[in-house]
Every structure is written in C-alpha cells, then in structure tokens.
Amino acid sequence: MRSFSLIFKQFSRSVFLIAGFAFLGFSAYAQGDAAKGEALFKAKCTTCHKIDQQVVGPALGPQLTEETDDKYLIKWIENNQALIAAHNPKAVAIYNKFNQSNMTVFTELSDADVTNIITYVRADWKDLQAKKAAPGAAGQPVAETGPSDLVIFALIGVIILAFIIILVLNKVITTLERVLLKNHGLVLAEPEVEKEPVDRYATIKKLAKNKKLVFFVILCGVIASSSWTWVILWNTNVHTGYQPVQPIKFPHDLHAGAMKIDCQYCHSGAYKSKNASIPSLNICMNCHKVVKTESPEIHKIYDALGYDPQTQKYDSTKARPIQWIRIHNLPDFAYFNHSQHVKVAKLRCQTCHGPVETMKEVYQYSPLTMKWCIQCHKRTQVDGNNPYYANLEQVHKLLSEKKPVTEALMGGIECGKCHY
C-alpha cells in the first residue's frame, strides 16, 4: 500500500510539472530581441502598420497584446494567405474584418525574426501606455513649475516704481539740505551775472554766405537724389528675396535636399506645360497617408482634403483649397514657357530658382528681369541634337528645294504662338 502511494505521488508530481510547463508555454509572451525586432519592423511593417494608430492595417500594439497565442501570430505573419486558405477561424475573421484586404506574405522571415518583431511591438506599446499614464502626459494635470508671467511683470513694475521714488526722494532731500544751509548762512548765494545773448546760428549763417560751398552741397544733393531715384526705378517690381508666409510650411531642404525627391515629382507640369503647376494635395498623400501623420502641418493637408486619419475616409463636404501665395510672378507682357526650358533646353530647375534643395522655405532667388534673361540666353549653348532643330533643318531643306512649306511645319499651330 505504501509503495502504491509513493508511485502515485511521483506520477502526480510529473503530471503537474508537465502541465505547468505546458501552461507557461501557451500563456507566456514571445521572448526575443527587441532591438532586432525594431529594425525588422521599420523595414517590413511601417508601410501599413503603426504601433499606436491604425493606418492601412490595424494598430499592432493592442492587437499583439490581446493575442497571446504566439505560435498562431508567427504563422499569420509569415504566411497569412495559407491560414485563410485553410479556413482558420481567426484568420478568416481578421480577413473579413478588414474588408478582405490581403496582407503581405513574409515567408523570408524566420520564426526567430517574427518573435523579435512581436517582442519589440509589445515592449514599445507598454512604454507608450506608461508615458500616457505618467503625470504631465496628455489629459493629466501638470503641477506649476514656477511663477506666472503676471507675477513676474508685477514684481518688475514694483522694482521700477521703487527706483523712481528713491530718485525723487533723493532729489528732495538734496534741495532741503541746501535750503537749510542757506538759511543758516553756511552757503553764500551766487551773485546773478547777466549773460550776453549768444547767436547759435552764427556759424551756419557764415557758411551760407560761402557761394562755392553752397554750390558744392547742392551738387552733391542732386547727384545723391538722382542716384537714389534711379535705383528705386530700376528695382521696381524686382522682388529678389521675396519670401511670403505660406499656409503650410513645406520644407524643400528636407524633400528636395535630404530625401532627394525630384522637383518634377511634385511640379509635374514643368516638362510638358507653360506652367510648372501647383502640386495637388493627393501627391502629398502618396507618402503622408503613412509618414509623419502626427505633424500639425500634415494635419492641415488632412483638413483641406476632408480626410480622417482614423477612419481613412474622405469627406468632400469638408474639403477646401489651400490658399498658396505665389512667389515668382512675371509681368503680363512677358511670356515664359517651362517646357521649352526644361524639356527642350534641358535646364535644371536651380538655374532660375536657385538652390531650392537648401531652402527651408522657398523665396525668389533670381531677379527675373529682362537683362537677367538676356544674359542667360547669351551664354547658354543650343543642343543641336534636339528634334525641334531637326524639324527646322527639314523646313530649310524644303525651302532650298522651293517646295511648299506651311506655317504648321514651322510650329504655327502650337497653342503658345497665339495664346499667352
């Protein structure tokens, strides 16, 4: 009987031990390298996911915290299509919840890579929750760290007033002391001496009688005023350095400089149209539907489009145009065609607009005067391999052979010939 009880006790211990390990294996979170997981998350996941906000896909922080079955998560991330095809209940439910949008398959990731990503997401989500709950976070009362501006200005006012009172009292005391000393005969009163009147303008009157000096001063004044008038008239409507405040602070040094985005990605009309065109806000949304969504400047774009980043839907009733302020403006009698310079002459945008890739906010770099344009035309060489000039050679050949040449062959039906 005793041996049976010993066997039962050992068996029960083994069962409980195995059950305990199994429970820990099923309930414990994945343990991985959060640093490696961060690098993989930024490389693979940030296009569609954020940890604390829904983008194309759901916010991963709460999702991976609620889901404790890490084996299922690894299978889902590596090949979610296989789980959906196998009619896995969880996979099908997620697939239907997000309008049957297909998630990218990451078969190149190992189980350890996915575990690292899960560990990083959970750790970062935990840190975000801790920051929100900490004193001073959004929605939490913040203790006063110093006196208010009103108290500081009041103290400064009291100090200034006290200083003025001290000066006045010091002056009064000095005057009273003199009166007392004078009454006791200790200070003799100064005898009043009549002063002869002094002509303050005697020197000026003397110089005014010098005709040569007067002529020289008038001549210098005429030259100075003429030069000033010439400079003012010459620079009329020349707005070099003009930099208005735009409704959205678009940093060209970041986009064209650091990110090396081509100018014509946004200003797509430059190579095919007279105007470079103002970029559509939809071009901005190609990136900023996901990138820097927390920026106040990006939210101005959302407001103009009537876009809700939480639901990722557009409300056309809330849409309104952005009131951009024009920087480069030519007079009405001047004709400028961007496509002739960008596509035909193959000029870089910086030739006229300056080093835009270094400008925090764009300003007018060149004077855009007729003299400036003519100087550029004098030094810029013509590209003889351009089809435009090949067409002119054909026209000259027809003329030399005394064959009929129409205005259409010489570009006479192009819109820019008549319409400015």
Please check whether residue 106 lies inside any domain of the structure: yes
Question: Average pLDDT, stretch 106-129?
Answer: 82
Coil, strand or helix at 22: helix
* pLDDT greater than 80 at residue 281: yes
- Kindly state whether residues 380 and 390 are assigned to the same domain: no
| Range(s) of the domain holding residue 310 | 252-385
CATH code where residue 107 lies: 1.10.760.10
* Shared-domain flag, residues 53 and 93: yes
The length of the chain in residues reads: 420
Cα–Cα distance measured from residue 267 to residue 252, given in angstroms and rounded to the nearest whole number? 13
Tell me how far apart the alpha carbons of residues 129 and 112 are, in angstroms, rounded to a whole number.
26
pLDDT at 7: 44
User: For position 99, what pLDDT does the model report?
Assistant: 60
Give tens-digit pLDDT for 248-258. Answer: 999 999 999 99
Give bridge partners of residue 233 from the DSSP assignment: none
Other Cβ atoms less than 10 A from the Cβ of 350: the count is 14
Contacts (Cβ under 8 Å, ≥6 apart) of 107: 78, 79
* 260 and 377 part of one domain: yes
- Asked whether residue 161 is domain-assigned, the answer is no
In a domain, 272, yes or no: yes
Q: How many domains does the chain have?
A: 3
Specify whether 377 is located in the same domain as 411: no
In a domain, 189, yes or no: no
Checking if the pLDDT of 305 tops 80, the result is: yes
**Residue 216 falls within a domain, yes or no?**
no
Question: 290 and 378 in one domain?
Answer: yes
Check whether residue 276 and residue 401 sit in a common domain.
no
Please determine, for residue 298, whether its predicted confidence score (pLDDT) is greater than 90. Answer: yes
- 25-34, 213-222, 234-243, 353-362: range with highest mean pLDDT: 353-362
Checking if the pLDDT of 349 tops 90, the result is yes
- Check: CB of residue 361 under 8 Å from CB of residue 246: yes
At residue 78, the pLDDT reads 80
Q: Which of 133, 151, 166 is the last residue of a domain?
A: 133
Same-domain check for residues 409 and 419: yes
Q: Which of 71, 104, 133 is the last residue of a domain?
A: 133
CA of 178: how far to CAs of 65, 67, 168, 181, 357, in Å? 88, 93, 16, 5, 74
Q: In one letter, which amino acid is 259? A: M
Phi first, then psi, for residue 375 (nearest 5°) are -60, -40
Is the model's pLDDT at 4 over the cut of 70? no
Higher-confidence position of 99 and 330: 330
Mean pLDDT of all residues belonging to the chain: 79
Is it the case that residue 128 has pLDDT exceeding 90? no
Same domain, 296 and 256: yes
Q: Which of 178-182, 195-199, 308-312 has the weakest average pLDDT?
A: 195-199
User: 77, 112, 133: which is the final residue of a domain?
Assistant: 133
Range 293-306 average pLDDT: 93
Residue 112 lies inside a defined structural domain of this protein: yes
| Pair (262, 381) in one structural domain | yes
The verdict on 266 and 381 lying in the same domain is yes
DSSP secondary structure string, 99-130?
TTPPPPP-TTS-HHHHHHHHHHHHHHHHHHHH
Q: Sign of the C-alpha dihedral, residues 296, 298, 301, 302? A: negative
Measured distance CA(178)–CA(229) in Å, rounded: 61
Among the residue ranges 58-72, 136-150, 355-369, 383-397, the one predicted with the least confidence is 136-150
Its pTM stands at 0.50
Dump pLDDT digits (tens) for 11-32: 445 544 444 544 444 444 446 7
Triad 51, 99, 30: Cα angle to 5°: 35
Q: Is 325 found in the same domain as 353?
A: yes
* Residue 348 maps to a domain: yes
Whether pLDDT at 177 is above 90: no
Rounded Cα–Cα distance for residues 243 and 194 (Å) = 64
Is 374 inside a domain boundary?
Answer: yes
Same domain, 341 and 265: yes
For residue 192, pLDDT beyond 80:
no
Share of the chain above pLDDT 90, in %: 23
- pLDDT at residue 12 in the model: 47
